[in-house]
């Protein structure tokens, strides 16, 4: 167990705040998925949130603090989509201007969603890392608040999904969580530890964007140099040091999956549950299927972190 960055009381308060804006998401047992994996399986459906992804929980908590502290300078961040939608949705509810930098070639549907939620969009760079550098430069030049994808308020907000899950489903043996920059898995680890549970937390990355998997294996930060995956929510090439410390201390292991395995998992979600799950959200199912007999008969939870996948990507990748 690691030194907590917030208390259980803080987590309950964050949950109250989140639930003032969004309903508790369901955790559902799907018989066909259970049969497919050979487990007592529960899916936490973060795709049912207002922005279609778990990130909005962190956005609500982050924006609430900015509003309470009287920050009117506006927020700026970089994203491939879900983080930006989260900030735009939350910022609009307390009068905060939000600017989002996206890489060139980013999802047109996610761009449209962020703009519809009130964000000002700027395209810059070839990937998330280059977009993030530009967002940081603009923040300094324009005196705006730069919002990283990993920050204490964001993690605390995101951890509320783990709180809901652990309160609703007792005695979970393991939970599989996708890793982008790490707020989801870190929130899950911290909630698990605060509740003093024994659940194993298993991270999932793409084989083409495996910076955390490499760092976890080495027990120290290993700089990444690639983000080669169609699952844009986990297309990250540089680990966050604060996130890595929590993952090293609290995760059981990190599993990597191919884009083909992720595509199969997206299809399985559709056929077995009629939920459309994006690549990052389907990666945990891909990892569970890959681990196969090792998890047979166990009570397992999967974090379906979001459902925001472009139609053309879905048709070209999955169908």
- Per-residue model confidence as pLDDT tens digits over 129-163: 899 999 999 999 999 999 988 899 999 999 999 99
Which whole number is the average pLDDT over 63-91?
89
Which whole number is the average pLDDT over 282-297?
96
Strand partners, 98: 75
Res. 5 pLDDT band, cuts 50 70 90: confident
Residue at token pair 């990666």: 283
| Domains defined along the chain, listed by start | 8-53+152-317 (3.40.50.1100), 55-146 (3.40.50.1100)
* Gap between the Cα atoms of 85 and 114, Å rounded: 5
DSSP for residue 140: H
pLDDT reading at 4 higher than 80? no
- Strands of the 145-146 sheet, one edge to the other: 120-123, 98-102, 75-78, 145-146
Percent of the chain with pLDDT over 70: 98
- Name, in order, each residue with C-beta under 8 angstroms of 156's C-beta and a sequence gap of 6 or more: 5, 6, 10, 11, 14, 58, 61, 187
Phi, psi of 128 (to 5 degrees): -60, -40
* Gap between the Cα atoms of 76 and 253, Å rounded: 33
* Gap between the Cα atoms of 84 and 100, Å rounded: 6
pLDDT of residue 3: 59
- Strands of the 40-45 sheet, one edge to the other: 27-28, 40-45, 299-304, 174-178, 200-206, 253-257
Averaged pLDDT of the chain: 94
């Amino acid at each position: 167990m690691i030194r907590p960055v917030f208390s259980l009381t803080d987590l309950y308060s964050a949950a109250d705040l989140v639930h003032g804006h969004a309903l508790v998401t369901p955790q559902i047992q799907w018989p066909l998925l259970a049969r497919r994996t050979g487990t007592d399986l529960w899916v936490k459906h973060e795709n049912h949130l207002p922005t279609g992804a778990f990130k909005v929980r962190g956005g609500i908590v982050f924006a609430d603090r900015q509003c309470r502290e009287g920050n009117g300078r506006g927020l700026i961040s970089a994203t491939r989509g879900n983080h930006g939608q989260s900030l735009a949705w939350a910022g609009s509810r307390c009068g905060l201007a939000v600017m989002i930098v996206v890489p060139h070639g980013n999802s047109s549907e996610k761009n449209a969603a962020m703009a519809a939620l009130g964000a000002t969009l700027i395209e810059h760079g070839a990937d998330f890392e280059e977009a993030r550098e530009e967002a940081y430069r603009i923040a300094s030049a324009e005196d705006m608040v730069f919002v990283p994808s990993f920050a204490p308020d964001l993690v605390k907000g995101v951890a509320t999904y783990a709180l809901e899950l652990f309160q609703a489903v007792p005695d979970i043996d393991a939970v599989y969580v996708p890793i982008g920059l790490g707020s989801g898995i870190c929130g899950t680890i911290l909630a698990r530890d605060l509740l003093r549970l024994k659940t194993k937390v298993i991270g999932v990355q793409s084989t083409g964007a495996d910076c955390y998997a490499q760092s976890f294996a080495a027990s120290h930060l290993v700089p990444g140099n690639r983000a080669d995956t169609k699952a844009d929510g986990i297309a990250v090439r540089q680990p966050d040091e604060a996130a890595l410390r929590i993952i090293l201390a609290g995760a059981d292991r990190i599993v990597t999956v191919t884009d083909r395995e992720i595509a199969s998992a997206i299809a399985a979600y559709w056929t077995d549950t009629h939920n459309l799950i994006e690549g990052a959200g389907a990666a945990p199912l891909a990892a569970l299927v890959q681990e196969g007999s090792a998890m047979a008969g166990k009570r397992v939870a999967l974090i379906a972190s979001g459902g925001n996948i472009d139609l053309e990507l879905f048709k070209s990748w999955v169908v």
